[in-house]
Chain A
Amino acid sequence: GAVVSQHPSRVICKSGTSVKIECRSLDFQATTMFWYRQFPKKSLMLMATSNEGSKATYEQGVEKDKFLINHASLTLSTLTVTSAHPEDSSFYICSAAPGGGVRGNQPQHFGDGTRLSIL
């Protein structure tokens, strides 16, 4: 089945550091990938839609200059949390579907998430 790999799985760093998270589709191409954030005991909330070869689309309230998204190839999207602060500590998860979900009814598949802790 479709596999989405996310790296790293856990990051602990000092306030002010920038952190890059990678999301790869291992056995399919994805023109669209999604980035979610999840706070403790809460459900997943969409942050942005990553589009291959074009600018990402951000949800209301998500700062595009804070959360930089690059989708340079059909198998890789990156999320960079710039100048991270303790309030950015969260569980970040990406998802993708073969063909962007257009082909048939391919479901979205998720990475295992990245636990980000800012000290």
Chain B
Amino acid sequence: DAKTTQPPSMDCAEGRAANLPCNHSTISGNEYVYWYRQIHSQGPQYIIHGLKNNETNEMASLIITEDRKSSTLILPHATLRDTAVYYCIVRVGGSQGNLIFGKGTKLSVKP
């Protein structure tokens, strides 16, 4: 699975959009980008994933660059409950392998 690079921490004002970047310059054609978050003392929560098209669900939007070497997770209206560590993970879609977690981005949403 390709390696990802994320900033260690970010701040966001409550009500504003939170844009979390992820670099995955070595991604291969059959690898998907998955985003999870972990709120303190809980298991990781699945947010969204995509291959090359932008994706949106009730939680967030995922913007993947045309060359697929980077992506951005967008939380459109961040709330205090969105404070968590966000993980960007790249892996082959449909594989049965485990997820490899990096250090992620600690997002702090502030009032």
Contact = CB atoms under 8 A, between A and B. Distances in A.
B96 A113 contact: no
B94 A101 contact: yes
Nearest to A115: B41
B67 to A, nearest CB: 21
B95 A101 contact: yes
Contacts of B51: 105
What interface size band does chain B fall in?
20 to 34
Given A44-B101, A107-B34, A112 B96 contact: no
Contacts of A97: 96
B94 A105 contact: yes
A6 B44 CA distance: 13
A34 interface: yes
Contacts of B95: 101-102
B46 A107 contact: yes
Contacts, number: 62
Contacts of A61: none
Given A44-B101, A46-B98, A105-B49, A93 B43 contact: yes
A46 B73 CA distance: 25
B99 A95 contact: yes
Contact of B96 (A46, A100, A111): A100
Given A105-B93, A107-B34, A43 B102 contact: yes
Given A34-B99, A108-B99, A115-B41, 8 more contacts: A36-B98, A43-B103, A91-B41, A93-B44, A95-B44, A102-B94, A104-B94, A107-B46
Interface of B: 32, 34, 36, 41-46, 49, 51, 87, 93-104
14 contacts: A43-B87, A43-B103, A44-B99, A93-B43, A95-B98, A97-B96, A104-B94, A105-B32, A105-B49, A107-B49, A108-B98, A109-B46, A110-B45, A111-B43
